[in-house]
């Protein structure tokens, strides 16, 4: 393994993986899921799943990537050949690479919207800022051209970084993007907790109300844990291929998971005090929570427009460092398979993804009436990827490491003591695999 194909330090790998995990899922989706699923019950179950499902699956992805040192498809092929397993395990990598491309096609549309909000500065002296904000969002959603513009800009940034390659492009950019990101989100959380209603926020997020715990809440918490950690499609496996040889996987996974969880909770603390402190805003607003209501909240606060700009810069940075991990598995695979230059592969894939993204854009406007079995293009794609492809991928990864690879090989690769390993392996073998199959069956039926 040549030096240029390894992250320059252990902390760069952690930043890159945390950069993948932390994204729209933490800042946009986590707060609205918490708001729509009754608060603390969701939070507590989510935290449980992060540790008993997320940790084992993420560790499995990293150790397969580190063993294979190639794209997920070829790392899976190598590990299955070396351990005399069926070579068809590699199709798990193909499924994942495909899921990444499909997810990126709509992720880029939402990230583009977030990006456009950096420039959405409310005029001073509005009589009714909430009406202005609602109109702004609906006029943006109604305009294919404006959405295409922001989607194109976001895809250009993503392709440029991946085109430079993992070490030069991703490694370098995360090493300055992620620290900026952490500083910003903490600043905004401090600002919100001083100016908004912090007491209601803390009791909403953390005081246990188990009456709110329904099967639906449990299932959504599990799905959110997958999406937020970027597991189930090989993104973390692709990054694992460049992990320094001496890096301890056990400790590394724990750091990534703690960072991701910290950011989701901090995002809650940044957003809910403003919502609770403003009688016009509701916690269960759903996906529109940050796009329609947060600018209004910022507007009514001192220095609000500066914080609004900071907030959406932050969201765009987080989305960008996640988007690159969605593109990396397919890119690495094509680079090995076709011998085309990385920049060429990325350009071709970028055009393809941009094109698929048009379908999601048109779902907001000219295709909004076009439905197939109750799904439009966007909701259908979202369902296919998050409810089918990711859980299926995660379950197979857990089956591969929990049931097919030698237990001693897994223990050595993780490099943790026997006591912790036994807990880990139990979760991997029985809980992760079983629970994932459960979400899968539930969400498909
Ligand atoms: N985890 C990212 C977020 O929270 C999104 C993401 C990036 C992702 N890579 C992924 C989701 C791979 C699933 C699989 O926004």
Q: Does position 58 have pLDDT exceeding 90, yes or no?
A: yes
Residue of minimum CA distance from atom 13 in ligand 1: 230
Burial class (CB in 10 A: 0-12, 13-18, 19+), 372: exposed
Identify the residue with better confidence: 218 or 28.
28
Query: 19: CA distance to ligand 1 center in Å?
Result: 9
Over residues 275-304, mean pLDDT: 78
Q: Does position 92 have pLDDT exceeding 80, yes or no?
A: yes
- Residue 413 Cβ inside 6 Å of ligand 1? The answer reads no
Q: Does position 117 have pLDDT exceeding 80, yes or no?
A: yes
pLDDT tens by residue, 133-160: 878 888 999 999 999 999 999 999 999 9
Q: Which residue has the tokens 């979760």?
A: 427
- Residue 110 Cβ inside 6 Å of ligand 1? The answer reads no
Q: Which residue has the tokens 């329904």?
A: 214
Atom of ligand 1 nearest to the CA of 326: 9
pLDDT at residue 172 in the model: 75
Query: 57: CA distance to ligand 1 center in Å?
Result: 14
pLDDT at residue 443 in the model: 62
pLDDT tens by residue, 190-229: 888 888 889 999 999 998 888 778 777 887 788 789 899 9
Residues near 183 by beta carbon (within 8 Å), at least 6 away in sequence: none
The pLDDT confidence band at residue 25, using thresholds 50, 70 and 90, is very high
pLDDT tens by residue, 400-411: 999 999 999 999
pLDDT at residue 138 in the model: 87
Probe target for ligand 1 pocket from 17, 20, 104, with the most ligand atoms within 8 Å of CB = 20
Q: Is the dihedral of CA 223, 226, 227, 228 positive or negative?
A: positive
Q: Comparing 211-215, 240-244, 420-424, which segment has the lowest mean pLDDT?
A: 211-215
Q: Which residue has the tokens 């299926």?
A: 392
Q: Does position 2 have pLDDT exceeding 60, yes or no?
A: no
Q: Does position 434 have pLDDT exceeding 80, yes or no?
A: yes
Residue of minimum CA distance from atom 8 in ligand 1: 230
Over residues 70-74, mean pLDDT: 96
Over residues 162-175, mean pLDDT: 81
Distance CA 134, CA 414 (A): 50
Q: Are 71 and 78 in contact (CB under 8 A)?
A: no
Over residues 307-320, mean pLDDT: 88
pLDDT at residue 1 in the model: 47
The pLDDT confidence band at residue 261, using thresholds 50, 70 and 90, is very high
Q: Does position 59 have pLDDT exceeding 60, yes or no?
A: yes
Give long-range contacts, CB 8 A cutoff, 24+ apart: 437-443. 437/395, 439/219, 439/222, 439/223, 439/391, 440/387, 440/388, 440/391, 440/392, 440/395, 442/215, 442/219, 443/219, 443/223, 443/387, 443/388, 443/391
The pLDDT confidence band at residue 89, using thresholds 50, 70 and 90, is very high
- Residue 26 Cβ inside 6 Å of ligand 1? The answer reads yes
pLDDT tens by residue, 328-360: 999 999 999 998 999 999 999 999 999 999 999
Residue of minimum CA distance from atom 10 in ligand 1: 230
Average pLDDT, rounded, for the chain = 88
In 3D space, the residue among 397, 401, 398, 416 whose CA is nearest the CA of residue 93 turns out to be: 397
Query: 133: CA distance to ligand 1 center in Å?
Result: 28
Over residues 87-112, mean pLDDT: 96
DSSP string, 102-118: HHHHHHHHHHHHHHHGG
Query: 100: CA distance to ligand 1 center in Å?
Result: 9
Query: 372: CA distance to ligand 1 center in Å?
Result: 26
Phi, psi of 162 (to 5 degrees): -65, -35
């Amino acid at each position: 393994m040549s030096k240029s194909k390894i992250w320059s330090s252990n902390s760069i790998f952690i930043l890159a993986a945390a950069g993948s995990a932390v994204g729209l899922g933490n800042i946009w989706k986590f707060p609205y899921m918490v708001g729509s699923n009754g608060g603390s019950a969701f939070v507590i179950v989510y935290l449980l799943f992060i540790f008993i499902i997320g940790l084992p699956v993420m560790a499995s992805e990293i150790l397969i990537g580190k063993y294979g040192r190639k794209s997920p498809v070829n790392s899976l092929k190598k590990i299955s050949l070396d351990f005399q397993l069926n070579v068809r395990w590699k199709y798990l990598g193909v499924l994942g690479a495909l899921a990444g491309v499909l997810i990126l096609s709509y992720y880029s549309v939402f990230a583009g919207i977030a990006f456009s909000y950096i420039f959405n500065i409310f005029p001073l002296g509005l009589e009714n800022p909430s009406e202005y904000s609602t109109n702004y969002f609906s006029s943006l959603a109604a305009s294919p051209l404006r959405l295409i513009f922001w989607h194109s800009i976001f895809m250009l940034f993503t392709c440029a970084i991946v085109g430079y390659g993992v070490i030069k492009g991703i490694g370098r950019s995360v090493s300055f993007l992620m620290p900026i990101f952490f500083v910003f989100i903490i600043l905004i959380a401090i600002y919100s907790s001083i100016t908004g209603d912090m007491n209601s926020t803390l009791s909403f997020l953390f005081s246990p109300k188990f009456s709110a715990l329904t099967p639906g809440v449990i299932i959504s918490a599990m799905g959110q844990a997958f999406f937020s950690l970027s597991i189930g499609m090989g993104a973390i496996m692709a990054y694992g291929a460049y992990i320094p040889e001496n890096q301890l996987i056990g400790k590394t996974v724990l750091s990534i998971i703690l960072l991701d969880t910290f950011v989701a909770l901090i995002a809650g603390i940044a957003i809910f005090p403003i919502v609770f402190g403003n009688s016009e805003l509701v916690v269960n607003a759903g996906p529109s929570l940050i796009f329609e209501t947060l600018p209004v909240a910022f507007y009514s606060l001192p220095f609000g427009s500066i914080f609004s700009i900071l907030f959406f810069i932050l969201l765009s940075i987080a989305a960008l460092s996640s988007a690159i991990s969605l593109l990396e598995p397919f890119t690495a695979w094509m680079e090995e398979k076709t011998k085309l230059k990385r920049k060429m592969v990325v350009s071709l894939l970028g055009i393809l993804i941009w094109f698929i993204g048009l379908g999601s854009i048109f779902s907001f406007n000219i295709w909004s009436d076009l439905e197939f079995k109750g799904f439009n293009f966007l909701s259908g794609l979202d369902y296919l990827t998050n409810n089918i492809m990711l859980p299926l991928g995660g379950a197979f990864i857990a089956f591969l490491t929990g049931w097919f690879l030698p237990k001693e090989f897994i223990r050595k690769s993780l490099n943790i003591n026997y006591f912790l390993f036994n807990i880990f392996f139990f979760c991997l073998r029985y809980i992760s695999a079983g629970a994932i199959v459960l979400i899968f069956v539930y969400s498909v039926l």
